[in-house]
A = this chain, B = another copy of it.
């Protein structure tokens, strides 16, 4: 059995997914799902590729993880993502009963795990998600910066 995957290892893979997304014209964001210490799913943003407003990296990674586990309840899972989730993706973490989210860069536009909202921690809701932030934030920000600089030329 492979060694236990650290948050840093998972983030390195999420950054690879983000780079691949950017290379095909999607905003470079990548996500990985870790369960029982192993990576069980990974995805990059495919909004442009699929013409699908919901095809953010987090949603695709959660869908893939649910398929692997055969249940929509991703109890005990950690989602590692390069950019702080938007409202839809933070809501998807709740819907999937994810245990932890680890993100890189803060999302000043619509970040919903601490920046504009913290949907992950609200005692009125039926689930809470532990939030870890700032893992490889500079690498994530650099990828996004390069992407938008190129597109605005």
Contacts and interface: CB of A to CB of B under 8 A. Distances in A.
A96 B110 CA distance: 14
Nearest to A69: B51
Interface string A35-70: 000000000000110111111100100110011001
A91 B87 contact: yes
Interface residues of A, number: 40
30 contacts: A48-B72, A51-B66, A51-B70, A52-B63, A52-B66, A52-B72, A53-B62, A53-B63, A53-B92, A54-B54, A54-B59, A54-B63, A54-B92, A54-B95, A55-B72, A86-B91, A86-B94, A86-B95, A87-B88, A87-B125, A88-B90, A88-B91, A88-B95, A90-B91, A91-B112, A110-B125, A110-B126, A116-B122, A116-B124, A116-B125
A29 interface: no
A52 B91 CA distance: 14
A71 interface: yes
B88 A72 contact: no
Contacts of A66: 51-53
Nearest to A93: B88
Interface in A91-140: 91-92, 94-97, 109-110, 112, 116-117, 119, 122, 124-126
A24 interface: no
A52 B81 CA distance: 19
